[in-house]
Amino acid sequence: MRLRSLFNYLKPPRGFHLTKSGKIFFLFLIAIIIVAMLTGNNLLFLILAGMLSFMIVSGIESERNIRYLEMSRILPSQIFAKRPAVLSYGIRNLRNASSRLVIEDILKLNLGHLAKGITEKLRMEVIFPKRGITNLDRVKISTTYPYGLFRKSISFDLSQDMIVFPEPISCTSPASLGVEGQGKGQAHDSISHVRPYVQGDPLSAIVWKKQHLGLVSRVIEGGSGTSGIVVLLPGGDMERKLSNATFIILELHKAGSSFGLVMNEYFSGIDTGTTHKLDILRKLACASDIKEPFRRDFNGKAHVIYL
């Protein structure tokens, strides 16, 4: 720990890398130094002084370009695996205008000009391949301004943990029980609402008369249509079950129905709020296994969906 603290203390405040043009410039600079020292030619010393002045001005201007930058990262409230997510960034320079900035996070963003004191908002579309907790590292801003001799960078400690929810995948016919606990709930099923057609929806759910509006599918809600509880059972494809459960929870929340989740020893309770939905999605995102649920009987209080 002490060595790490010492390293952070001694680490240069700026990153520095030569560009291709910078490498050529320094090769000429070294060559002129050697020839000038060997020959004592005053003209070569004059050229050397000019090149050194040029390099110093470049360093001062590049430092001025990034010195007073401020950076922030804004995450969306919901990020799903294998679905595009938009990360937002706010950047400003309180004292100077900045040019030719490159923001490096998960991907790279280019910013040609940043006016003094104005917060510029940038957006980055990212796809996370799997669910779970993902750590976002520091954000680096680099520049080759003004002459492109070297790339100077500054980093911002915006490290944070982010939860990626499972990819929502529609399930066509989950095993379910109506609120009376008999059969599969078909006798109590009712149409909750319609939504745009999703690949995999059963043909019987398509509302064909609305073709001029684009294909839409009926969303069936069993029982009284007031609440639904998703119960995850062991066996089968775990990732598929988590994705199906995510889809059902999102659909119930969109319909304004109360909903809940039973997984292993966890029971979320039944509610309709956004906070309740996010708590359930976090639980699904961080699941490591699916065991026998601690309860299945809800005494007819809700429409139970087994996955």
Domains assigned to the chain: 13-164 (2.60.40.10), 175-306 (no CATH)
Q: Give the mean pLDDT of 221-239.
A: 75
For residue 183, what pLDDT is reported?
Answer: 43
For residue 11, what pLDDT is reported?
Answer: 57
d(CA 91, CA 72): 7
Lowest mean pLDDT among 25-29, 75-79, 205-209: 205-209
* pTM, 2 dp: 0.72
For residue 228, what pLDDT is reported?
Answer: 84
For residue 301, what pLDDT is reported?
Answer: 63
